[in-house]
Structure 1
Amino acid sequence: MTVASGIGKASGPEAGAVLAGAGFGLAASVFWAFYNTGTDLGRSWGFSSLDLMTLRFVVASGLFLPLLMFGHGRLAGGAAEATGRLPLVKLAVLTICIGPPFTLLINTGYGIAPLAHAVVIGPGMTMLTANALSVILDRRPMPMARLLGLLLVSGGLVAMALEQPTSKTPGVEVWLGDLCFIGSGMLWGIFTYLSARWQLDPVRATGVVTIVSALIVLLPFWLLLAEETPPVSAWLWQGVFQGVLGGCLAILAYTRSVALLGAGRSAIFPALVPPLAVLLAIPLTGNWPSVTQWSGIALASIGLVVSLDLLKNGWWAKPGKGH
């Protein structure tokens, strides 16, 4: 059954909600793809991991602060509680998972390994980690489709690991960059698992962690700022890539998609990030993936899609299913 036929069975407001949810989901995928490609560009422009990390959190915090104060309830679709405090222990754990440690790892990896490795290894490890924690800690049975998807994702990771191109940093092996992507992917996977286990409001949790992270990184940034830095125009571009697109808009768009479509159907959109990022890199950076990289991207992307069990959670799912 096609997307169109799935939407066709819905009427009026329901069809509009599906279309809107699809639009927000696609927007989130594009924002994340630009963020990944922009980070790769930023490292080639001479930005350090700390520079990019500071831009991400400072710019995004400036966008999240008024949202949390005034407009969060409406943008969250009314599905999440817009008030209440995040306990200190949970805030500390989340700051480790998606704050400075996560960002430092992924930015460092971009300075060593190619973009194609980042967009496959990171999301792949996120999926593997979140599912493993769910099975081990919550003892939830794993559907056959998800197990097959995990095997395909693992195949994509292995394909990437087998190819070790020239490192972007002389004297540093590419596999060290891959380890950075493995670490950042695992941290985001832990965040994904904890968000569901703790029933966190994703916009509020991400916004608070972003603001706390900005306060943490500002002092080291000023102390370690190099005398020679990229031009102002490059800083502005990276502010857009890091803070506006990756740190804020992608999260808001994806959260809105989940509110309209449910978690099951919305989960398809992150699977679009690897091929989108690699395709964007062709005109923006001039980098064409190798055959091995294309193979890894294809395996991981198919695995991410298969794991969602589209026969059950696809666009054609009846209202109430796949949520």
Structure 2
Amino acid sequence: MGAAVVTVVVWTAFILIARASAARSLTPFDLAFARVCGASLVLVPWGAWLAMKHRDAVSSFFGLSPLSLRVTATAGIFGGVAYALIAYSGFFFAPAGHAAVLMPGSLPLWTTLLAALVLRDRITPARAIGLAMIVAGDLVVGGRSLLHAFEGGEVWKGDLMFMGAAFCWACYSVVARRHGLDAVRATIAITVFALMTYIPVYTLLVASGAVVSHIGSAPWGEVAFQMAFQGIGSVVISGITFTKMIQHFGPVRTTMITALVPGLSAFGAVLWLGEPMHWSLVAGLALVTAGILFGVRKAATTVRTAPVCPTPCPAGMGGSNG
């Protein structure tokens, strides 16, 4: 139960803190930099230790990634670099309440569709109904901002980015399922990939003036906090606790528990960030949560045992249960 509490709290805090960070010093590129550096402090030595322990195993990136180069790159692009950049950018345009619905809400949709396309998974009638509820909830929340796009509003940009981030994580989840990756090695691999690719490119772009960075001018306390929370908390700790949840509760009950995240995040945004609670947000939240729970509960009645989810989801995201 402790792992479940930690996972839900960290995922909820991810959405609230990322939105609050958009009003402070760091840019989305800076936040991604802090996330990768913070996670690397723990996961890179861990990866090196695994490489030394299993010298005959397949590895890449000078032995730091416990996966092959192709798998590391594929998983790292979607789960390491693209997800972080797109998600953090979304918080600079749209409120946390939208992220609470659209990121966890659209993740089961993208994962199911990609799993059906790539892994040939069957979409059951019950799951189809649940996905229809999720789509309806996403449209209720995001449709309003899309209608105002031509009036000069920018919230719709964040909404699309939240759904894009969920799509990236769904791609990563399907890659992990296809290759049977375990949680620890997959998380180490995407972190090593981001460290070896994103950090050098980010540094060069900042040095050339192509990308604006506030890392140098931001308070060091803020930078240290983001490294600790976004990297160690969101990537390392929630990854481990999510895996513990899967082992103890199973994938079905775990998804039911993590369905608390959209509601807690949305109401947390109202209480702590002062965001308004529009009727569309409440309706969309209800539809998305009902869709997740309906699909999972119906799946539980027909499937007594299910494969363990091989990947930990980032903070603020639902389980990769597609």
Q: Determine the structure 1 residue equivalent to 2:161.
A: 180
Specify whether residues 313 and 36 from structure 1 end up closer, same or farther in structure 2 by C-alpha distance, changes over 3 A only. Answer: farther
Query: What CA distance in whole angstroms lies between the structure 2 residues aligned with 1:288 and 1:238?
Result: 26
Per-residue deviation, 1:180: 1.2
1:121 to 97, 102, 109: 102
SS of 1:112's equivalent in the other structure is coil
Distance of 2:41 and 2:153 partners within structure 1: 36
Matches within 5 A, 1:37-186: 37-68=16-47, 84-85=58-59, 86-164=67-145, 173-186=154-167
C-alpha distance in 2 between matches for 1:321 and 1:208:
25
Secondary structure of the corresponding residue to residue 267 of structure 1 = helix
Q: Distance in 2 between matches of 1:302 and 1:110?
A: 25
Q: How many angstroms apart in 2 are the aligned matches of 1:227 and 1:236?
A: 11
| Paired amino acid for 1:60 | A
Partner of 1:11: none
Structure 1, 214-223 or 268-277: larger mean CA deviation: 214-223
TM-score, normalised with respect to structure 1? 0.79
1:312–1:322 CA contact under 8 A, matched in 2: no
CA RMSD of the aligned region, Å?
2.9
Give the conservation status (yes or no) of the 8 Å contact 2:101–2:266: no
Instruction: Indicate which of 213, 225, 229 corresponds to 1:241.
Output: 229
What are the equivalent positions in structure 2 for 1:200-279 lying under 5 Å apart? 200-219=181-200, 220-221=202-203, 223=207, 224-226=212-214, 229-279=217-267
Question: Judging changes above 3 Å, is the alpha-carbon distance between structure 1 residues 289 and 228 closer, same or farther for their aligned structure 2 residues?
Answer: farther
Give per-residue Cα distances to partners, 1:244-282, cap 9 Å, x unaligned. Answer: 221221111101111222222222233221112223323
- Give 1:150 deviation, angstroms: 0.5
Aligned length: 287
How many Å apart are 1:163 and its aligned residue? 2.3
Deviation at 1:41, TM superposition (A): 0.9
| Superposition TM-score, scaled by structure 2 size | 0.79
Measure how far apart 1:84 and its partner are: 4.6
Query: What CA distance in whole angstroms lies between the structure 2 residues aligned with 1:64 and 1:279?
Result: 33
User: Counterpart in 1 of 2:312?
Assistant: none
Q: Is the 8 A contact 2:262 2:285 kept in 1?
A: yes
